[in-house]
Amino acid sequence: MILYDEEQNKPIKEKHSISTLQCVLFFLMGCFGFQLLGTLTNTIFIAALPEDYISSHAALVSSFINAVVYVLLLAILLTMYYFFNKQDLKDKALGFKNTVNVSYAGRWFAYYLVCNFALNIIMTLIQLAVEKSTGIILGTSNNQSGINSMISTNPIMVFFVVCIIGPVCEEITYRLGLFEALRRVNVKLAFILAPVLFALIHFDFEGVISGISSGNNLVLYNELFNLPSYILGGLILSYAYWKNLSINQSIYCHIFVNTLSFFSIVIQLLLQ
């Protein structure tokens, strides 16, 4: 993206409040740090709780572990941001009060709804074709199934994690971090890699490997089938950030998307 001087209408050098190295550090912390925090927190919970309680309350325990991990990650990312550029962090915090950011985020959310509707039609046709030709019934990904289970057992906590804390952490990681670092090298590369990597964090590699090793490929098929929806989400959120280089707008858009998904799941659970 090229910025222009309003008076002379000539390209000017873009000013970065966060260095490229700091963007990379955001990504590394949000991606690999998240995995490390998850492993440590999971180990602590397993050591502290009786095995029979964990097995009988798996979804509830998972929701607490998930909440602890995301709260810790948010605290670490915001602390990093504070030391990287305290003033910019304050400006971004104030930006959430700006109705212009909310308005733009609403526009990007509308784009998402239209694109997602079209994608759902395509994926439904694929699902029906696969079922008719092979007999394989494709379903939800393990990530989505896990979220559904946690919502059914601990909806209030899951709401704050999925609809507020999670979007902030993921936007700092994948938009302000990964996408912004790649954008400064090549914007096309950023729009390819960032959404794909964002989608892959929702891909259950462990479940796929476990399924294949036991002769069950259905997990792999389900994960691949649901991958395009995550890539689409990553594309829209990347665009929401890139259009005005506003992390506020992409965070708001992410919150809107996840909130819609959350209440859709709640309604489905209530109707069962």
Give the Cα separation of 81 and 90 in Å (integer). Answer: 10
The string of pLDDT tens digits covering residues 26-80 is 999 999 999 999 999 999 999 999 999 999 999 899 999 999 999 999 999 999 9
pLDDT surpassing 50 at residue 4: no
Residue 59 tokens read as 């979804």
Q: For position 9, what pLDDT does the model report?
A: 43
| Residue 242 pLDDT exceeds 50 | yes
* Residue 11 confidence (pLDDT) above 80: no
Q: Taking 80 as the threshold, does the pLDDT of residue 3 lie above it?
A: no
Of all residues in the chain, what percent carry a pLDDT higher than 90? 75
* Per-residue confidence (pLDDT) for residue 15, from 0 to 100: 57
What pLDDT does residue 254 have?
A: 98
- CA 76 to chain CA centroid, Å, is 17
What average pLDDT does range 132-151 have in this prediction?
87
203-218, pLDDT tens digit by residue?
A: 888 888 888 888 888 8
Phi and psi at residue 12, in whole multiples of 5°?
A: -120, 160
236, 253 contact by CB (below 8 A): yes
pLDDT tens for each residue of 161-180: 999 999 999 999 999 999 99
Q: How far apart are CA 146 and CA 162, in angstroms?
A: 12
Instruction: Give the pLDDT score at 272.
Output: 78
| Residue 8 confidence class, pLDDT cut points 50, 70, 90 | very low
Rounded to two decimals, the pTM is 0.90
Average pLDDT, the chain: 91
Q: How confident is the model over 14-21, as a mean pLDDT?
A: 80
Task: Judge contact between 175 and 190, C-beta under 8 A.
Answer: no
Mean pLDDT of 261-272: 92
* φ/ψ of residue 62, rounded to 5: -60, -40
User: Could you tell me the sign of the dihedral formed by the alpha carbons of 239, 189, 36, 233, in that order?
Assistant: positive
Residue pair 70/150 in contact by the 8 Å Cβ criterion: no
Domain map of the chain by residue range? 19-271
What is the distance of C-alpha 158 from the center of its chain? 14
